[in-house]
Amino acid sequence: MRKRFIFSTILAVFCCGILMVSCGSKKSKAGKSNSTGWNYNDPNYGGFYVTQSRDQQAGPGLVAIEGGTFTMGATQENVYSEWDNTPRQVTVSSFYMDQTEVSNLDYLEYIYWLNRIYGSDYPEMINRALPDTLVWRNSMSYNEPMVEIYFRHPAYRDYPVVGVSWLQANDYALWRSDRVNEMLLIEAGILEFDPNQDKDNHFTTDGYLDGSYTGIVLKGIEDPNPKSLTGERSVRMEDGILLPKYRLPTEAEWEYAALGLIGNSSNERITERRSYPWDTDNLRSSNKDYTGKFVANFKRGKGDYMGVAGSLNDGATFPAPVTSYWPNDFGLYNMAGNVSEWVLDVYRPLSFEDFNDQNPYRGNAENLNYKDGDYMSTIQNDWNNKDNNTDYTKQMYDYGKTTLISDHSRVYKGGSWADGPYYLSPSTRRYLEEDQSSSTIGFRCAMNMIGAAQAK
């Protein structure tokens, strides 16, 4: 009896101890601060919130591209004697990139959403986004079927969208960012599908983050802030749920990803320099099952877009489906041929001399003319006689008078179905005004990789 009493007393004391600990401050699952020693995610320590997960998930359609150093610029003889492509060793940070070009089906989904949200109230929103199908029209060719059906007919839904300007491609990337983040919040139980979104209230990432989105919000995430009235709050970017924005790749990113040098490097040595996204300069497959088949969609010679009936070479007189041919060593399709692709950069002939050697890019709004178009790069750079009322940029880049290059000229990369083999090299660069489009230019999206440089 006495033993039973002692045992009961010890058990009661033990349980009380557990209860007292549980009622007191808990050790945070997220750990404690190395700076202050305070627990994270603990209301008794102020409630500073630290998310458990650190990893960024890949957005839909994206492939991880592990960064590194490479020689950016001309990789073969410049048959046109252009001087805008001087080779230079640079480093590109790891990032994500679309496995394929954006297809007609992808873009039709965008147009449908715009119609659903803006409808008849703001038809200009839809008209502004529509591809220019007249890019197929040629005064001396019968391409009218392409004008009428290429974008909308289901036979072409897996083909790359064309007739899209640089400005339209950027608008699509922003729309895609919002739809992906909306879905992530729905999957996390934060939001519910809201089929009644309209022009006055629809989800955008920025609108949600600044609190202006008032759709069907089911809940927030746990808020350990002791001053919180509800114990919940809206998701923030530092919670790791939302993804960075989709965007066009930079010229350096696109060229690096297209070469796919990860497939022929070992111990920090690139075993063979590439002129194309594959090892050899041969444009035909070396696979015994596909001997002689072309590995890209391009124009073999004058008047030869697809070969002879019964023995077609690339099998496409115009663009081919976005997953045609063989992917490169990063797993990316059609980084040579099919359609050329928009990139972020403003075009300048001297960019390769001016580029930073880490993440090279010309496009920061305040530095478009840096070292190529600003006062110091003109021949009249006499600081003693500088006239602050004179636009010296026009002395070099007076669009339509002295040059066809402007601050709105954007680079596009890679060859297309209508180009010869020379333009299949990822290093080649051309440009077009950002509000113009072509039947030979499409695009794909990229996204920043946050955190570790090594792709997971």
- At residue 432, what is the residue type? L
List helix spans (H) across 305-448: 351-354
The candidate with the shortest Cα–Cα distance to 163, out of 326, 387, 318, is 318
Q: At 260, phi and psi to the nearest 5?
A: 55, 45
Q: How far apart are the two ends of the chain, measured CA to CA in Å?
A: 63
Rounded Cα distance, 322 and 54, in Å? 33
* Residue 23 pLDDT level (bands cut at 50, 70, 90): very low
Nearest CA to 409 among 358, 351, 357? 351
Confidence class for position 24, pLDDT limits 50, 70, 90: very low
Question: pLDDT of 3-16, one tens digit each?
Answer: 444 445 444 544 44
Continuous segment of H or E residues that includes residue 343: strand 340-346
Region 411-431: what's the mean pLDDT? 94
Of 20-29, 69-78, 429-438, the one with minimum mean pLDDT is 20-29
What CATH homologous superfamily does 57-368+407-456 map to?
paralog of FGE (formylglycine-generating enzyme) (3.90.1580.10)
- Give me the residue spans of the domains in the chain: 21-50, 57-368+407-456
What would the pLDDT profile of 80-105 be if each residue is shown by its tens digit?
Answer: 777 788 899 999 999 999 999 999 99
- Per DSSP, which regions of 390-445 are E strands? 409-413, 429-433, 441-442
